[in-house]
Every structure is written in C-alpha cells, then in structure tokens.
Structure 1
Amino acid sequence: MNTKDFEKEIKIHIEARYPILWLVSFEERRVERIVENLCESTGFEYWSWSVSRGLYGGKKKKREPMGREKILTTIEETILKSENINNLFLLKDIAGYFNSHEFLRKFRDLPAIMEEKNSLNTICILSPTLSDIPPELEEDVVIFELSLPDYDEIEELVTKTYGHLIPQKWHSSTRSILYKSLQGLSLDNIRRVVRKAISLNNGVLNESCITYIQDEKQQIIKKQKTLDYYPHKEVIEHIGGLDEIKKWFIEREHVFRLSKGKIDTLGLDIPKGLLLIGVPGSGKSLCCKALAGIWNLPLLRLDVGRIFGSTVGESEKSIRKCIQLAEAVSPCILWIDEIDKAFGGVTGFQGDSGTQLRVFGTFVTWLQEKEKPVFVIATANEPKNLPPELWRKGRYDEVFFVDLPSAEEREDIYRIHLEKRGQNVTRINPRELAQNSQGFTGAEIEQAVKDAIVTTFNKLRSNRDSKDVDAMIEELSSLNLSHEQLLSSIRNITPLSILKKEEIDELRRWSHQRARPASRSLFRQRAEMLSDHEKRAIAIHEAGHTLMMWHNFNKTPVFISVDNYKDYSTYTPIEETLKSTFTKKDLVKEIGVILGGMIAEEELSNNDSQTVGASQDLIQATQIARRMVVEYGFGEIMKNTSLIGLQDYALTSGKEILDDIQKILDHAKTDAEQVISKNKDLLNRFIDKLVKEVLLNGDDLMRFFSTNPLNL
C-alpha cells in the first residue's frame, strides 16, 4: 500500500487497540519518518529500538544503549508507568529473536498488559521481509506492507527538492517520463540517482538524465538474478518492414508518455501486452528489443528455465519473485521469449505433480489483474500449443502474426544489415538480392550477409604472407563486399521455409485466420498482381461475409484483405468446441454469414460475374444444413430425430432430407438477402474502403461499423 494508506491503516489499528503491527518494508528510514510523524500528529510518545543503537525516544528524545535482554522489560515498565500517556514502540528486526522460547514468552505477555491499561499502547515490528510468524502470535499480529513510492510521491519529492533544476520548457509528458523512470526505486535511492544523474550531466537536469536513471535500475535486476536486463541497442530503424506492428508501437508510446492524472481523466488504459506469433527467425525477438528503445523503458527478459526448480514450492516462489521484481522496476517491458516452450503442454498430462499448472495459474492471473505498468511481450513459434487462457483479450492487447518478409521488406532488411556493417549499398542491388531470397527469414538474410563478409575477408588472406596480411589489415577501414559474393552466400543457404515446408505452411495458414498481420506489405504485393476488376470482385465477396458477421454476431474477423479469398472459418466467431451450446437459430445465422459473400455478389454483380469462392461457401453452408437435419434433428419434416442414431437411412426418404436441407438454406439466404439489400449503400462504401486500403484489421472494421451503423 502507498504512504497515505499505510499511515491511515496504522492510525486506525492503533485507535482500535491492536497490540502488535508488523510493518514490512526495505525502506527503514522512510517507515521511521512515517511513524514518527504519526506520533507527533496524534500526541503519542514515540519509541524506537534496534539491537545496535539501543532505545531512542520519550519526552527527552534521548538514546540509551540497550540489548534484547532488557528491551521487553523496559517496554513493560513504560506501559505500566504511563497512566494517561499513549505509546508507540517501533522495534527493528526483533523477529529474529523469536526462536528463543523465553523471549517469545515474555513478548506474548505484553498484549495482555496493554489491554489492562486505559492508555493506548502499540508495538510495531519493522522488518525488510515477512518471516514466519510464530503460531503463538498469530492472533495478535496485523501485517502491513509499504510499497515503493508511487507516482504522486515521486512527483512531490522531485518537484520539492529538484524542481528549480527542471527546465521550464519541459512539457508535462516529459516530466511524466522522468517521474515514471524513477518508479521502482526507494526514496533514498531516488535522491541518490537524481543527484548522480545531475552530476554526470554537469549540474543540469534534462532528458539525458532519464537515460542515466534507467541504467541505474540495472543494479536492482543484477542483485536478484531471476531476470536478465537488456540495454537499449535496437531502435525502430533496425526493423525491416512490419509496418503494422511499428505503427502499433508508436501509437501506444503516446499513452505511456501521458501523466497518471491525464490517463485517468481521459479514461485511457495503459497497454498491457502483446503476443507475437510467427515463423522462427522472422524478427519477433528484434521487435521486443526495439520496443524498449522506442518507449525508452527498461527491458527485462524472463528465462522460464530458471523458474522451474527441483525443490517443492521453489517454482511457484520463483514466478512470484519475478513478478515482484518486474513490478518493482516498473514502468518496464517484460519479455518472455518462446512462451510456447514454457506453457505449451500445460493442458495435457502433468508429470510434475501440477507444478507447471500452478506456475501458469499464477502467471495468467497476474496478467489479468496487474495494476503496475509492466508491459508483457511474449513470443511463440508454435502458437497452437498455447492454452486458450493466454489468447483471451484482457491479458494481451493484441496478437500479431509475423510472417515471412515480402520482397519489399527483404530489400529493407538487406539495406539495414549492409549499412550496419559499413557497406556502401549503392554498389549493391538490394532488389536483385531480394528476388533471389524468396522465402528467407530476416535471420537467414542476416546470416547471408555475415557469410559474404567472412568469405570476402578470407579471400584477402589467401596466397599472401602472414606479415603482408597483417600490414594490409591494419590499413583497411572497411571490406568492399561484392554483389556476386552476396548472391553466392544466398545460394548456399537453404531457408527454413524449404527445410520445414509443411510445418511452416501450416503455421502460416493457421495464424492468418487467428492473428492480426504485422505487415501489410505482403498483402499489397499480392494485390498488385490482380486487376482492378479482380480486386473489386474479392472485396465484394469478403465485404458480404463481414457485414453479415457483424449483423448476426456483432463481431468482426481478425482481418480481411483483397489479395485472395478467405476460408469460411475466418467468419465463424465460435470455436468448434463451443458449438454444443449453439441453438438452431445460431446455426441458421452462421449459414447466413457463410452465404453473405455469394449474396453480395448477386446484389452488386450479374450472375456471370459470380466467383468460384461463392460455390465453395455453398458447399460449407450445405454441410452445416445437412448436419442440422441428419445429426441434430432440426429439420421440419425429419424433426426431433437423429438419423445418425437410426444408422439406417433406408428407413427414411432421401427426398425428405433434401427438402429439409433446402428449406434451411432458403430461410438463411432470404434473411441475409434482406440485410444486404437494406444496407446496399453501406456495403458499397465498405467495398471502396477495402479496395483502397487492401487490408483492414479488426480495429479498422470496428471503427467502420461504429461510424456506419447498419439499417436493421
């Protein structure tokens, strides 16, 4: 709890005659000041004791050397002598002496003595951590834990102490970044760190000091040894392509820069986290590192392998320790690399007595309920293995799929890695390199550049004397990498998309239906190969599906695009595992969504312009209608009967089944035709927008339908 609540709770419990309060905090001097100020405001006599410095306090404010043998006797005598005087005793690190039975017995007698007196007397035990409370004291002890200074306390301290050094031209958002960067430090450390930053910056407090302050937080991480601290080395310019995810990073940065008061006033929420899924080597980890540079926040990496220990309870304790540490240095970014390896099998057989399940439960609960500004960014190469609890909104703000880079993105990646290594890009043709590396990931492109540079260096050494080579190397300022050598290195690499073609293709197909794409480039590239007529035909079809999905279920797909037709499952909002709760009406609505593309084509195009995609949708709709009749007993003629149970179709007429299927399809089609006919103008506006943008994600779709309501 913060300082105000901490002081308030102590006061309430003192007045309620609670005999023992256990105060937990590493900030001993801060607690002393809080308690002493409370005593002054309430008229209590303040007493403070430690085994090294003895007893201090009373009216004369004197210090008397006193060991543990005498302190309890002195407290008892003081209480007995004080008829009309209220006392508060702050005892530091006294819990370590409870191992002595005699000492504990004497301590247990004090609450009874306090209860007999009319005056108010309370003992406060102060310790940095909460050790085991002796069973004998559990009934008398109340625990309060003082959290590190919050935003308001830091703002008050810095403004009061160093306000004259803060430039007047600083915007409130810059001040907010300064105060947030100091969160996670104790009050004493805040003073030290700010003084050090000012000293390193020649007595001036400016934005450079924020960097010094964040570097100081490394010390906290290093002391704990449960998380790794990554310094800022990557920036947004180091990411080739991935325009959608970079845009998301920049938009959310503005929220992080707002002050706490402004965030509350505007009703905004601090971003919670991201889940990045995609092809191995496609740049997920690079995005995590670059995000820390974009937002100018500390990046902590959670190594899940360190969490799980052999001792009973060790793993659960480790995950809680990691969470506490991340919150202590917040605002920060917590990076969990390959989260599918840690929690991928959590829903299956548990051969570890449920340890993994308990660790997972602690983690996902914290993801949902956390209040501190800890932004969690996780990566996964096998998203299908992740439990459903990790996918739901509220734990992550968004799920992005990082695909293989397009030709345009591959050009950017080549330029980035060549310029990083001091190469003159004008002598090399990145477009040709991109064309020769179809299916390469960013990591494979980087390796091709590295191999080419090593080969170029080795060629300089061949057929030369070692002394001549050393002299030549000393004179070199850079290596002149040839275009031909790069092409040769590319040809020597077999990309993962070829080595594991089936797995990568399945991952891409699965993820395209469930996650927001991290880049528009690939979709634009495929769309450029289509004619305007083809793009509009696809847009009409996809728009019909989307409009019906919004009308029937008030939901949108993860994204839609005009580069190709989407599978019908993109527009069905309910997972197969939840279909058991579907009603007949729900199934008819689902058929209406599937037929929406075909109906939109009929409404806006002539019959000759209908696409093959419509016939595929008709197959899926017919299969659902057939199951309604044959399996679920939802027909009008063959009703309340499952033909699967009869196991003998000869008992029924095939025409009766076909008539029931046709009636279901006709009913769903009629309802969908009415919706699309009423919203023809809206549908045309939607189609124009889709053709222009090429790709619309879920947020774009929600905004469109919010500003363009349907005619019901």
Structure 2
Amino acid sequence: MPNGAETKARIESYLLARIPFVTVRTVERGRVLDILGELAQRKQLDIMVHTLSQGLRDLKTKQVVADDKSLLGALDLAGEWFQARSNLTVVFTDVQHLSEDNDVSRRFADLATLAEEHGGCMVVITSDPVWNSLQRMGMAVSLDLPDLDEMRHEIEVFLHPYSSAIRIEWEPADFDQAASILAGVTKIEALNILATFVVKKSVTKEDLLGLSQAKDSIFSELSGIERVSLKAGDHQVGGLSGLRQWLDRKRPLLTMDLRDRGMRPPRGVLLVGVPGCGKSLSAKAIASDWQLPLYRLDMGSILGHYVGQSENRFREALNTADTVAPCVLWIDEIEKGLAGSGSDSTGVTTRLVGQFLYWLQESRSRVFVVATANDVRSLPPELLRSGRFDDMFFVDLPETEERREIIQIYLRKYLRVPVPEEVLEKLVHLSDGFSGSDLQAAVAEIGYEAVRVGDANVPLDYYFGSFHNVVPLLRSAPERVEEVRQLRDRAIPASGKPRSTADRPGGNRRVVLG
C-alpha cells in the first residue's frame, strides 16, 4: 500500500479510537491537513486547526474561532474545549521545542491527559522528534514524500482538467518517467513545477528535461555535495567504447519502474586505471549525455577532526544525494576517504566504509554513482564485492584509434580550420604512450598559437613540436604506469577490447559484451 494511503488509514483509526495524542511526522503539513479535512467531511468529525498565521479555525467550515493566534492561547482554549465538548480533535501545526523536557512539552502532556479524560484527541504535525514521555501518551505515524505511484497519480490528477485546453504530448511511459524524476519532492513542489508547464499551454516530451532542471533548482543549496555545472558538448569522451556501450544499456533502466521484478535501479560504476585517461571526464560526460544533474562528493572534505564529524558529514552527503535523485554522483579518488579500513586507531574509516556499503546495497534512490580510483588495491575488499557497484572498468592509455578520436575531438574544439589527414596521422604516431590529458595539453598548445597568429598561420612544425614537447607519464614514471596496469585483470577493459588469454592470469572472470 502506498505510504499516503497507509498513513491516511492509520490517522483515521487513531481519530476514531480517540487516541489522546497523535504525532504525524512529515515535512508536508498541507498534505496532512488535506487528509484531515477529508476525514472531517466524511466522518463528520469536529476538527480545529491551529496555525500561527490564522490562529484556531474549524477545518470543515474554514471559519476562525479564536482571535488569539499564539500557541499558548490555543493550548488554553483547547483545554477549555476538551472539558466542555466531547469527541473534539485539535490539530497543532507550528510547534517547536517538543523534543525535550521543557515547559512547552509539559503543557502538551497536561493537555493530552485532559483529552484522554474527556474523549478528546490532539494531533501534532511536525518534522522533529517528540519528547519520549509525551510521545508514549499516544501514537505516532509518518507521512513520507509521495512514492512513484502516488506521484504519478498526482501528476495525472493535476493535468487532467487541462487536457482539453492545452497540448499534452505525454504518453503513459512519459508519466512514469515524470513521476520518477519528481521523486524526492513534496506534492506542492511537484504541482508548482507542473503549473509552469500549464502556463505555457503545452506539456511536451522536452519538458521532461525541464522537470530535472526545476527539481535541481529546488535543492541547489543543500549541503553535503557540490553541484557541478555542465555545458552541452564540453565533455566529449574519445575511445572507451566498451564503457560507453555499457552505459547506453544502463541509461533507460535508471528511470524505469523495476519494482515488479524486485530489482533496484542501476547503482553505478567504479573506474580504475592510469591517471589522466578520462576517468573524471567520464563522470561529467555521463551526466551530460544522460541529461541529469551532476554532484561531486569530495571524500577528502568529508574527514573531520572531531568525534562523529566525518560520519555525520558522510551521512548528510548520501542523504542529500537521495533527495536530489535522479542524478549522477561523482566520487573522485574514492580511495582517499575509504582506504585503509581497519588500520586507523579511531575506527572512522571502518565506520565510513560501513555507511557507504549499506547505502550502496539498500538505497533504492535513482542515484548513479561514478567512483574513480587510481589504486583499487588500497580500497577495502568488501567494497569490490559483486552487488556494490554494477561493474568495474579499467581505463588504460588510449590505443591508436582511440588517440585519433581524442585528437580529433580537441582539434575541432580548439581550432577553426580543418587539419589535413596526413597531419592527423603524424600526430597519432607522435602521441604513442600519451594519456588523454597529454593529448589535450598538446592540442591546446596549438590552439593558443592559433589564437595568437591566426588558425591558418600556424606552421605544421608547431603542430609536431607541441606533441614532441609533451613528456607523458609513460616516459616520466613508467614504473607507476606498470604498477597501475597490474590491476587490469580485476576489471573490464573500458576500451571494449578483450585482453588476450596471456594477459589474463587464470582466465578473465568477466565477459565483455557489446
């Protein structure tokens, strides 16, 4: 049963049973008042609601019944009503400081006792915890944000009255995707976004992207993770065809409803390999190609100096990612925060690993994690177990065809004139052993000269000299490259080209598809 329907049924049973104190934990006050209003009409219940802006009013008639808008005045009046009337329900919506033993919480406890003696009922709508002694005087219920089914229903109900007046291009699959995108927002936030589409008198398939952007703007100031701005076309990836084909298969699954099969959305990918070969760029390219917001979690900034600080920061970051989903969460150099599990004297790393593993395994939010690591051997082995990430790819130095594709991408980006094919072939030959960042640096140097003297005036010798001047990692630190390459047998080649049997000690544990 959807949470909204279950919560409604429980609230109704508590009110009819005259439970003296009922707590509804939620951030959607308006949604709870809608439920209570419907119950007041259907069951003919006397329900009074207090807000600081309007004071006490009758929920059925909407009439204000007291001029005093203060909370203490409402508590005094509710006490008088409980003694004079039976079967009365009073709802409080703007209550603070109920989480501990204080004058306010004790006033509520006294009122709950009075309500129990006279068949009254008091309801508190809050998103904060309630003092334990007070909560034990009644019952509690939580109203979560709308789930997929509830959100889809709300979208359909909202748009239906406009179906004859505006153009609505959405098909059933589009309504499903819209509900998936809007997961994590309140009902009123979702309807406000849809209202902007109604105003322009059309709801098109392109508006699905607008849903993501509008949702992103709601949560742009949340703490814990950093929003990464992307521009279309700025993050093209050359080579890595195996990784790109794998991602193409995963993309539609991220927003599909997989609950009937008992499956979770794709969780993400771990990219390991030679530095400068496109691991971080791939995270940006995935978000850009999938038209999803990109958030970066810096593991280095998570670690704090005080007891519990690191764990709280990490928990907040993961909760924020769940809230802004669907999104891409980029964890750069994940080994910086999760390496050495069990070796630190305080146990912080072990607890962070435990938090992360639990979240990877249990969270059903549509967060696609792209984690990068230069040395997977320093990561705890339990993080690499099947079922955590969907797969692990090794990103190696680009081969000939991959270098040609990467060079062409940057030549088109930095120059305004075509480069002869024979020049391109020479650059591909000169760049043997280059990483992707080496190739970008070499072509960028040509671009700077083109800006200075004009694209057509850059001599060919300058092209070749720019590549000659680059000292790639393979020449400056060959032992480092070889050390990283020892990890190749533990991951799928991102290039999509299977390694030979000789390169796979004991055989490869994976089959490269596509």
TM over 0.5: yes
The answer to whether the Cα contact below 8 Å between 2:223 and 2:317 also exists between their aligned partners in 1 is no
Q: d(CA) in 2 for partners of 1:166 and 1:361? A: 51
* Distance in 2 of aligned mates of 1:141 and 1:336: 44
Mapped partners of 1:480, 1:257: distance in 2: 50
Q: SS of the residue aligned with 2:203?
A: coil
- The residue identity in structure 2 corresponding to 1:515 is A
Deviation digits for residues 577-614 of structure 1 (CA, Å, limit 9, x no counterpart): xxxxxxxxxxxxxxxxxxxxxxxxxxxxxxxxxxxxxx
1:211 to partner: Cα distance: 2.7
Q: Who is 1:213 aligned against?
A: 211
SS of aligned partner of 1:565? helix
Aligned to 1:62, the other structure's residue is in SS state coil
CA distance in 2, matches of 1:481, 1:267: 60
CA contact (8 A) 1:279 1:402 kept: yes
Name 1:371's counterpart in structure 2: 364
Change (3 A) 1:257 1:381: same
Aligned length: 507
Quickly say closer, same or farther: Cα 1:324–1:89, change in 2 above 3 A.
farther
Residue in 1 aligned with 2:274? 279
Give the structure 1 partner of residue 511 of structure 2.
698
Q: Are residues 166 and 288 of structure 1, via their aligned partners in 2, closer, same or farther at CA, if it must alter by over 3 Å?
A: farther
Match of 1:315 in 2: 310
CA distance in 2, matches of 1:198, 1:499: 60
Cα deviation, residue 147, structure 1: 2.5
- Kept in 2: contact 1:197–1:213 (CA 8 A): no
Counterpart amino acid of residue 72 in structure 1: L
Matched, 1:515 2:503: no
Q: Secondary structure at the match of 1:113?
A: helix
167-176 or 372-381, larger mean C-alpha shift: 167-176
1:358 aligns to 2:351 (yes or no): yes
How far is 1:265 from its partner?
A: 4.5
Question: Is the Cα–Cα contact under 8 Å of residues 337 and 379 in structure 1 kept in the other structure?
Answer: yes
3-state secondary structure, aligned to 1:321 = helix
Aligned equivalents of 2:234, 2:449: Cα separation in 1? 30
Give yes or no for the alignment of 1:162 onto 2:169: no
Q: CA deviation at 1:299?
A: 1.6
1:235·1:291 contact (CA, 8 Å) conserved in 2? no
Tell me, yes or no, if the aligned pair for 2:46 and 2:89 is still in contact at 8 Å.
yes
The aligned residue for residue 283 of structure 2 is: 288
Partner of 1:148: 145
1:395–1:567: structure 2 CA closer, same or farther, 3 Å change rule? closer
Q: Secondary structure at the match of 1:513?
A: helix
Task: Indicate conservation of the 8 Å contact 1:234/1:286, yes or no.
Answer: no
What is the CA distance between 1:177 and its match in structure 2?
Answer: 2.7
Partner of 2:181: 181
Give 1 or 2: higher helix fraction: 1
The letter for the 1-side match of 2:155 is V
In 1, the alpha carbon distance for the partners of 2:234 and 2:266 equals 19
Write the distance in 2 (CA, Å) between the matches of 1:102 and 1:364: 42
The structure number with the bigger radius of gyration is 1
Partner secondary structure for residue 210 of structure 2: helix
Distance 1:9 1:482 in 2: 78
CA contact (8 A) 2:270 2:392 kept: yes
The alpha carbon displacement at 1:217 in A equals 2.8
Residue 46 of structure 2 is aligned to residue 45 of structure 1: yes
Query: Contact 1:427–1:483 at 8 Å: present in 2 too?
Result: no
Within 5 Å, which residues of 2 pair with 1:86-485? 87-96=88-97, 101-117=102-118, 119=119, 121-127=120-126, 129-131=127-129, 133-140=130-137, 142-163=139-160, 164=163, 170-199=170-199, 202-233=200-231, 238-258=236-256, 260=257, 263-265=258-260, 269-350=264-345, 353-427=346-420, 429-458=423-452, 460=453, 481-485=458-462
* Gaps in structure 2 of 5+ consecutive residues: none
1:523-672 superposed matches below 5 A: 561=499, 563=500, 565-570=502-507
Equivalence for 2:34:
33
Distance 1:408 1:23, change over 3 A: same
| SS of residue in 2 equivalent to 1:401 | strand
Partners of 2:218 and 2:190 lie apart in 1 by: 13
> Structure 2 vs 1, CA of residues 454 and 570 (structure 1 numbering), >3 Å: closer, same or farther?
same
Distance 1:184 1:407, change over 3 A: same
Per mean C-alpha deviation after superposition, the further-off stretch among 68-77 and 95-104 is 95-104
- Per the TM alignment, residue 229 of structure 1 is displaced from its structure 2 partner at its CA by 2.0
Q: TM-score, normalised by structure 1?
A: 0.66
TM-score in terms of structure 2 length: 0.89
Is the CA contact 2:427–2:464 (under 8 Å) kept in the aligned structure 1? yes
CA RMSD, 1 decimal: 2.9
Q: Give the Cα–Cα distance (whole angstroms) in 1 for the partners of residues 274 and 20 of structure 2.
A: 61
Is 1:3 aligned to 2:4, yes or no?
yes
Judge conservation of contact 2:255–2:265 (CA < 8 Å) in 1.
no
Supply the AA of the counterpart residue of 2:205. Answer: E
Q: Aligned equivalents of 2:306 and 2:441: distance in 1?
A: 41
1:376 aligned counterpart, secondary structure? strand
Give secondary structure in 1 for the equivalent of 2:125.
Answer: strand
Distance 1:266 1:320, change over 3 A: closer
Deviates more, 1:156-165 or 1:296-305: 156-165
- Aligned partners of 2:20 and 2:121 also within 8 Å: yes
Q: Give the SS at the match of 2:206.
A: helix
Task: Map Cα deviations across residues 202-231 of structure 1 (whole Å, 9 max, x no partner).
Answer: 432113322332222333333213222234
Contact 1:47–1:90, Cα closer than 8 Å, also in 2: yes
Between the aligned partners of 2:359 and 2:235, the Cα distance in structure 1 is: 33
What stretches of structure 1 of length at least 5 have no aligned partner?
Answer: 461-475, 524-560, 574-696, 702-712
Distance in 2 of aligned mates of 1:330 and 1:41? 37
Per-residue deviation, 1:20: 2.6
Whether the 8 Å CA contact 1:284–1:379 is kept in 2: the answer is yes
CA distance in 1, matches of 2:362, 2:71: 43
In 1, the alpha carbon distance for the partners of 2:311 and 2:18 equals 36
Q: For residue 108 of structure 1, report the CA deviation from its aligned partner.
A: 1.5
SS in 1 for 2:32: helix
Which structure is richer in relative contact order (CA contacts within 8 A, separation 6 or more)?
2
Deviations 1:232-287, CA, capped at 9 Å, x for gaps: 435698111111111111111232353x2xx3446654211111111111111121
Distance 1:425 1:456, change over 3 A: closer
Q: Specify the SS of the correspondent of 2:356.
A: helix
User: Does the CA-based 8 Å contact 2:501-2:507 persist in structure 1?
Assistant: no
AA partner of residue 518 (structure 1): A
